[in-house]
Each structure stands twice: as structure tokens, then as C-alpha cells.
Amino acid sequence: ARRGFSSSAVRNLVIKHVTIIGGGQMGAGIAQVAASTGHSVTLVDTNDDILKKSIKGIEGSLKRVVKKKFADKPQAGEEFLQKVLRNVSTSTDAASVVHGSDLVVEAIVENLKIKQDLFGRLDMVAPEHTIFASNTSSLPITDIASSTNRLDRFGGIHFFNPVPVMKLVEVIATSATSQETFDSLLNFSKALGKTPVSCKDTPGFIVNRLLVPYLAEAVRLHERGHGSKEDIDIAMKLGAGYPMGPFELADYVGLDTTKFIIDGWSEKDPGNPLFSQIELLNKLVAEGKLGKKTGEGFYKYK
């Protein structure tokens, strides 16, 4: 069927042009997947050096994909790679590129004020129809959206690290998110080849709300002297079928990130024992042992 300005087309926006803000771990991954699935992507960060690094990272990651997917067709692989890279452009000024976007995905630093400032500015220049979405892990979407006048066209789209590998996307509706916006975000997630699940705007959505208290309790169990890190990891891998044990996973996620999430929730819900302080975690973070990324967390890495 022809796609015109029929009311159904307007109601269910097909997302073609995406602005992704933040070219770090998550933003670069989202950009890669969106470009690989035929979307035109503008990746935004604060300066050109960061953006160059993001593009290099995307290229390296794509090369690994191409090597596998086009193992016996290197020519087709090279063409795919170039086509995907042509789908990505970069900018250091979100306000000047957002005019052509159906969707803005924000993946910048996890700070409410900075996210609100960004969306508040963009709200004044973005087209009417443009949907805004945040990839935040721990901040309420409702709070981020409050700096804009498009509460009905604002939602959450929460990816998992590494984005090209992890199949899940949590799509989050606030009490003001319209059904049309929510459906567009669900369809966009599917168009990326992901499996979306529907979430409410509650702390941790689904995955982290279950995962973070589990990680915390694993550390507490160890602190009580009831199991070594190694044994707890082996137990959860072989006994629960998890691909990583809780200490391995916490090191992978980052101990600072894990602590940041627990602290944020505990501030909102002080008496909740699920979010109580964990001495060992605090100590490692204070010592700068943040996990894999710093070479040491619960374990040491080469």
C-alpha cells in the first residue's frame, strides 16, 4: 500500500532517520545496528575526536560481522560494509541535525540534569512528529521527559551491552507516552532485528530490577563468608544455567555502574534491604577497581 499522509501512516510512524546522541559504548552500538538495518543515522557527540573513535569502533565491529556473515563472499561483504558506513554521518551539534529525524535516541552520560538540558533544547528545534527516547538504565523516563513539551512523543528504549550482540530491547512507556509512540518504538526495535518487551517506567524496568538485587545479594553472601567468588560464579553458571556468574557479570557491567544504580534506588527507597549498602563493593569502587575496564574488579584481568 502507498504510504502517504493517511491517518494510519501518521499514527504509526515508520522510523527512517535517526539521530543518536552519545557516541560511547551504547550509542556507537545502536548506531551500528540501525545503519546495518538500512536506517539513516546521524551520530552526535561533544567533539570530533570522540566521533572519529566511535566510527572506528563501528567499523572494527562491522568487519567482524562481515567476516562471519560473508565468509565465502568477501566482495559482497566489503560492499555491505561500505553501504552501512555510508548510512552513518556525524555531528557535534544535535540541534542543527535533528530537523530531519523521525527519532532521537539519547545515550549520553547518566545524569538527569544533563539529559533534561539536552532534550529541552532539542524540543524547541525538532519537528512536531519527532519521537524522543532515552537509553537510560536507571533514571525515570518521566523525569527526563519533563523538560520537554512532547510528553506523548517521549519514551524509553533500553538496549543491552554489547548492542550488536544482545537481542533484547526494553521499550518503556510513561503514563503520558501515546500508543502511537510506543508502537513506533516497538516497530523500530523489531526493524533493528531485536526482540522488544514492554515496560512501565519503574526503577530498573525488568532486567535490571531483577538483576541488580541478585548481583548485590551475591556479594553479600560472599561477605558473610558463605561462599567464595569462584564457587558462587560456578554455582550460578552450572546450577542456574547463567552464561556468566554474578561476580564475572558485575566486573563486566562495571562496579561503579552497579554501585551507582544501587545508590540511586536506595536514595529513593531508603529502608529497602534489597538496596542496602555493600561494604566490599564500596571498597573496590573507592580503590578504582571498577571491573574489566580498569583491569581489576572482583577479579584481575590482563
The residue within the footprint of ligand NAI, chosen from 32, 36, 101, 136 (CB under 6 A), is: 136
The stretch near ligand NAI (CB under 6 A) out of 44-52, 210-218, 236-244, 287-295 is: 44-52
DSSP state of 14: P
The stretch near ligand NAI (CB under 6 A) out of 83-91, 156-164, 180-188, 292-300 is: 156-164
Nearest-angstrom CA–CA distance, 195 and 170: 9
The answer to the question of whether 180 is labelled as a binding residue is no
The stretch near ligand NAI (CB under 6 A) out of 61-69, 102-110, 240-248, 288-296 is: 102-110
The residue within the footprint of ligand NAI, chosen from 32, 137, 148, 184 (CB under 6 A), is: 137
The answer to the question of whether 45 is labelled as a binding residue is yes
| 222 among known catalytic residues | no
| 39 among known catalytic residues | no
The answer to the question of whether 22 is labelled as a binding residue is yes
Peptide bond into 74 cis (omega under 30): no
AA letter at 4: G
Cα torsion through 30, 187, 98, 27, rounded to 10:
-10
Give the pairing type, strands 168-173 and 154-158. Answer: antiparallel
Query: Count of residues binding ligand NAI (CB under 6 A)?
Result: 24
- Which is nearest to 290 in space by CA: 267, 260, 264, 269? 260
- Which is nearest to 28 in space by CA: 1, 59, 5, 7? 59
In whole angstroms, how close is the CB of 252 to ligand NAI at the nearest point?
9
Which residues contribute to the site for ligand NAI (CB under 6 A)? 21-27, 44-46, 50, 107-110, 114, 118, 135-137, 158-161
